Structure 1
Amino acid sequence: MGMLMNSKGQVTVPAEIRAKRGWHPGDAFEIVDEGDEVVLRPVPQEETRGERFARSLRGKGTANMDKSTDELMEMLRGE
């Protein structure tokens, strides 16, 4: 699969690869020069409780709209 680098040195990772790997905008990566290859590796990042909560809700639409504020706070706190 060939890709072109733009004038800013940016290369777009195809959507099917991003989806397969679970990569999202804002994810951090390191680029490693390994002789004949250049490798793109995700950099693990510490998530805040709020970020973990938001990630847990991704793709669930209105699944939690019937919960009370107290129930949502319990979910956020991991209780």
Structure 2
Amino acid sequence: MRVTSKGQVTIPRDVRESMGIHPAETEVEFLQDENGRWYLAKAKTTNKTTSRFRTAHKTGKLTMSTDDIMALTRG
């Protein structure tokens, strides 16, 4: 797996799915064991704050007007 010049790597889809990692929603952390090995772990979050825009995208319907959909995003 290559590391970009910015220090980024792509986590394979099957790994993300099995760990429950979702783009822009999940924090991850790197942990080191007593032998010096590093592990990727899904971070435990205590304060889950979901953006109103993330929740609004699930409620829009094709039958809704643009004004109705915009009203959903404005809370």
What TM-score do the two structures reach when normalised by structure 1? 0.48
Flag the structure with higher helix content.
1
What TM-score do the two structures reach when normalised by structure 2? 0.49
